[in-house]
Amino acid sequence: MRPKLLPLSETMHLIMLALRKPLHGYAIMQLVNEMSDGQVSIAAGTLYGALDNLKKHHYIELLSDPSERKKVYQVTKLGEEILELENQRLKKFISLYEKGEG
């Protein structure tokens, strides 16, 4: 059975990649923008909806106290496994480009 949320949306993928180290919301938005060379800008509503969904599926976890103003998140072990599955999937697509197949 395929894990939930796969394939990841571009936004969720970038959020999870950003959360390989602990970050709070605004820092996630900044890092995603930086990682995508300014091509992906995440609005706060989109970010927090994605974080809730990723947390619900145990791909990320809240590290800070829920009562704190700045909530800090990080990818879980399961989240790392999901990122590896996505890495393999995307490598397959890249190999198709490189081979000129399709």
**Count of structural domains, the chain:** 1
Q: Which amino acid is at 22?
A: P
* Residue 1 belongs to a domain: no
pLDDT of residue 45: 94
Q: What rounded mean pLDDT belongs to the chain?
A: 93
* Residue 14 belongs to a domain: yes
- Residue 68 structural domain: 10-99
Omega cis (within 30) before 66:
no
CA 20 to CA 16: how far, in whole Å?
7
* Residue 2 belongs to a domain: no
Does the structure show a pLDDT above 90 at 2? no
* Residue 4 belongs to a domain: no
Q: Which tokens belong to 47?
A: 């970010």
Please state the rounded mean pLDDT for residues 57-70: 91
Are 60 and 79 contacting, i.e. CB atoms less than 8 angstroms apart? yes
pLDDT of residue 84: 96
Does the structure show a pLDDT above 80 at 102? no
* Residue 51 belongs to a domain: yes
Residue 16 sits in a domain of what CATH number? 1.10.10.10
Q: Residue 3's closest CA among 88, 86, 93, 87?
A: 86
* Residue 5 belongs to a domain: no
